Structure 1
Amino acid sequence: MAFHDPTAEALQRPAHPDKGRSLWTDARRRFARNRAAMVALVALVLIALFAFFGQLLTEFDGETVDFTLIGVNATQGVPSLETGHYFGTDQEGRDLYARTVQGTRLSLMIGIVGSLVAVVVGTLYGAVSGYLGGRVDGAMMRIVDVLMSIPFMFVLILMLVMFGRSLLMLFIGIGLISWLSMARIARGQTLSIKNKEFVEAAVATGVRPLTIILRHVVPNLAGVVIVYATLLIPEMIIYESFISFLGLGVQEPNTSLGALISRGASQIGNGVPWQLGFPLFFFVVMLFAFFFVGDGLRDAIDPKDR
């Protein structure tokens, strides 16, 4: 007859049983296993440090004109560690390193602020439309359809021409129209979430619709919102760079990567390739890094891949 020893059985059990992993813990581990996304995340961190603290590494402000370098930029304004012009100078004799720091910071801020505006407005609009449904949903979505039929770039250029080429108008123009796609995405997700048991329980207990939207629907849109925001940032940067490339965006003495690329491209035939090369390098690396991080987040959060 076998003897049952409860003490020995307890010793064989794991000291810390697996309590399961949450969705966000699992997503974080999946993201960490994506090498391309992790490399892109490191690149974004380095670019952010360069944009916000790179000015500390130079004595030049990027706005002071050095008249002694005007006309001899191709020979005396070359990149050099000895002169302190790490990226060389532009055609006005201004330090290109300081200008690139300023342009990277401004382009990054425009991308982040523009995407935040789009995500907040679009998520709330789409969640309200999808939850209320019926005629309200139909009317709200028709408004989105009408706005999406208007060429975005045409509206942005028209606003800058009519109300002035200011940084504020650039923020407003990009933020006001970029939320339309987010509204459609949030509305589609809300249509499936509002039929879940926890939402029906909240309705049965008498919770107000606005409270349900803010406390139950919007938090469950977080995964989709984060992924879309990450992919929207490079789109905002491209819009701003294109507008600045046309000369309608950021105005002197401020600058952005688009403005620096535009000025560098106009000087490429004068033997000063660094004026285009350095801003273009940061522009391309930043865009690819955001795209890879966005793809990594989408693969990590998507429950179909779990």
Structure 2
Amino acid sequence: MFPNRTTVEDIENAAALAEVQGRSLWASARARFMRNKAAVVSLIVLILVAAFALFGGFFAQWERDFVDFSLMGRNAHLGVPSFETGHYFGTDNSGRDLFARTVQGTGISLMVGIVGAMVAVLVGTLYGATAGYFGGRVDGIMMRIVDVLMSIPFMFVLILMLVIFGRSILMLFIGIGLISWLDMARIARGQTLTIKNKEFVEVAVATGVHPLRIILRHIIPNLLGIVVVYATLLVPNMIIFESFISFLGLGVQEPNTSLGALISEGAGTMQYGTLWQLLFPLFFFVLTIFAFFFVGDGLRDALDPKDR
């Protein structure tokens, strides 16, 4: 009866549509990310874990209590977690404060994961974007190199590098980062094949812009969405790799430690009833891994163009 009648619902829908259209890509992604409760809670957890690694050392006892822990089977009260003694997580089998060791291990594991992921993303993005942009024979040669490298067992190469060049945190950074860029190169190359046919790239080519400048100024900025998502999902993989290497005794060496090394030490002393040596490092390890995965899933959903 009233074909031109405007309802309240139509006005609300139009306002919502105008609001969405007025947002930038990153503002819209941020709004969708904030609606993901699991991702937001995981981000808060990661901030708390990072604060624990950065500032937990101010509340720890770094001196060693020289106690005969060979009697642990008959004196299980030795080294147990206690607020009275200041050993909040107890002590290890060498009399060292486990709280201080967990703070140090969490920091090193986070550092290895984040730096390793940054190296992998940087190398992989540049390599893949270059291969995808030039295409043809250059693309074929560069991607066949990636195929050959991917056929080599990753863990074998990393262990071999640590044995040949020495077991240190620097070698962990180089080994994990420079081997883990292969998947990122494939992803960046696939996205570049689509982006290089866009109008803004064709205009840059027509105006004589240098190919390297096109890759750095036009191609790579448009890969940031997928790069950020992959980086957040790559960090927990880096932490898992480092923890596995440290669990085998080839990673971080004394007096430094990591969560993997602490878990290995805790698993070796469980027979003495010192379960806290395993549970506290394992708790922070699992908490960090799950938080990174949930944040990565949230970013993937937020930056997915199909959901906009």
* Pair in the same fold by TM > 0.5: yes
Q: Aligned to 2:281, which of 275, 279, 282?
A: 279
Specify the SS of the correspondent of 1:86. coil
Conserved? CA contact 2:121–2:227, under 8 Å: yes
Conserved? CA contact 2:201–2:214, under 8 Å: yes
Structure-2 residue corresponding to 1:36: 38
Conserved? CA contact 1:67–1:92, under 8 Å: yes
Q: Deviations over 1:137-180 (max 9, x none)?
A: 00000000000000000000111111211221111110110101
Structure-1 residue corresponding to 2:10: none
Structure-1 residue corresponding to 2:121: 119
What letter is aligned with 1:168? L
Task: Name the CA distance, whole Å, in 1 between partners of 2:270 and 2:67.
Answer: 21
Task: Name the CA distance, whole Å, in 1 between partners of 2:207 and 2:134.
Answer: 18
Structure-1 residue corresponding to 2:8: none
The Cα RMSD (Å) is 1.2
Specify the SS of the correspondent of 2:67. helix
Structure-1 residue corresponding to 2:64: 65
Q: How does 1:1-306 map to 2 (within 5 A)?
A: 18=19, 20-58=22-60, 60-61=61-62, 64-73=63-72, 74-306=76-308
Structure 2: tracts of 5 or more residues without a match: 1-14
Conserved? CA contact 1:245–1:259, under 8 Å: yes
What letter is aligned with 2:263? I
Structure 1 stretch displaced more, 200-209 or 224-233: 200-209
Structure 1 stretch displaced more, 101-110 or 261-270: 261-270
Specify the SS of the correspondent of 1:71. helix
Task: Name the CA distance, whole Å, in 1 between partners of 2:66 and 2:59.
Answer: 23
Q: CA deviation at 1:68?
A: 2.5
Count of aligned pairs between the two proteins: 288
Task: Name the CA distance, whole Å, in 2 between partners of 1:136 and 1:169.
Answer: 31
Task: Name the CA distance, whole Å, in 1 between partners of 2:170 and 2:71.
Answer: 36
Structure 1: tracts of 5 or more residues without a match: 1-13
Relative to the length of structure 2, the TM-score reads: 0.91
Relative to the length of structure 1, the TM-score reads: 0.92
Task: Name the CA distance, whole Å, in 2 between partners of 1:72 and 1:289.
Answer: 39
Conserved? CA contact 2:80–2:90, under 8 Å: yes
Specify the SS of the correspondent of 1:92. coil
Q: CA deviation at 1:72?
A: 4.6
Q: Deviations over 1:166-204 (max 9, x none)?
A: 221111110110101000000000000000011011111
What letter is aligned with 1:43? V
Conserved? CA contact 2:132–2:192, under 8 Å: yes
Give identity over the alignment, percent. 74
Conserved? CA contact 1:69–1:77, under 8 Å: no
